[in-house]
Amino acid sequence: MDIDAGGIYEHALAHQYADHHPPLMAYMWHYLNFIYQGPLLMFLINMALLWGALYMLAFKIFNNQRVLQYFTILIPFMPQIAVHGRIIGKDVIFTFGYGFLAMFLAYLTIHNKKISLIQMLCFLITVVYFTAVKFQAQFILPILLLWLFYTLLRHATCAYKKSMAIIASAITSFSIMTMIDSINHHLVTEKGSGSNHSWQYVKIFDLSGMSIYSNQVLLPQFLLKHPKISVEDIQKKYQIAWEPLIVYEDSPLRGTKDEHERELLLQTWWKEVFNHPVSYIQHRGKLWFREFFLASCAKGWLEEIGITGLSPLQKALRLFATLAAFIFLFPFQIMFFSIGKRALNFTETKHYATALLFLSSMGCALLALLFVKSLAVTVRYIFFTFYMFFLSCPFAYHCFLELKQKKLQPATDQL
């Protein structure tokens, strides 16, 4: 378990819930403990989702392509997946859950199958949980649901199928998020001490970074632990994590105490973002590029096993870890969009291209979203993006090989 999962597990044991971490995950864990206490069942659920998705990819979608089957089986051992996939955490549950549902939709898409009522109900029930465990998942949900309604409506004769799919996705996404908010509110008020208002930490973190880049304290005075807090004091605690700024005894700032302070904080954030847009972009841009594009997934693992010094083996391992950074995969993702868009125009690759574009869109959407919606930055936040990339590789490879043959007939129907 990571630190967050440890806190969630404490809530599960106490049957008392808070919303800084997903209360629905803790609620489910509470009842799993009646079957077997500890993290084992959560881990087995993660593994079932991971290997269930890969089974569909290898033996239901690319069952006649041995090379792609071998690649699929290797996905869990890629550095970006192996380092974080072993952890019980909300990022991993969200990633493997959405990956499983995406492969189910890819199977339906490739084989032109209809979804049954039972499958539809199971899909919607599970997507509620997988979305509830991760805040940013709500912004990826509409893309996944658009894919779902694509499979439902592609057999329809209506001329407005595309518009209907978009509208249905928007309405269903709104309904699911309303349901999740209601469940969370019930859990933290009826079985907890109320909301933690965790959104405030993002705003405080942003205002701290903007203060440093603009060389003036932009935070409301009531958040300063004493009136003499300076930009230099804030800069000493300004890291890729938000906790050193607020949580510890020597932190220069504090969180809000009541609704009035939270309202003033939000007003201040909006005002300063408009007044200092360059500082905001500098703050977000530097952290986003440094940690999401350049951070090595395996860096923490190398430190755990005691890799220090500059021996040839250490240099090789650090180079390998650097090659695991997302920036080395980004050119391929751009190429995948190009391949998918082109392959969408041909009958033999149309369905594979559809799956490729949906997978790539979900992965890239999260990466872009984190520029403004991440609570500080850590490489595990883009675990989902890494996973979507590797799941999309077989589809891109298949489309690329088919396009090279140049014997394809134009597709007659596209959604």
pLDDT at 346: 87
Q: pTM of the full predicted structure?
A: 0.91
| Average pLDDT per 10 consecutive residues for the chain, totaling 415 residues | 89 90 93 94 96 97 92 91 89 96 96 92 96 94 96 77 90 96 92 85 93 93 90 90 88 92 95 95 89 72 55 71 81 93 89 96 94 84 94 96 74 52
How far is 57 from 398, CA to CA, in rounded Å?
Answer: 13
pLDDT at 181: 94
Side chain identity at residue 236, one-letter code: K
pLDDT at 377: 78
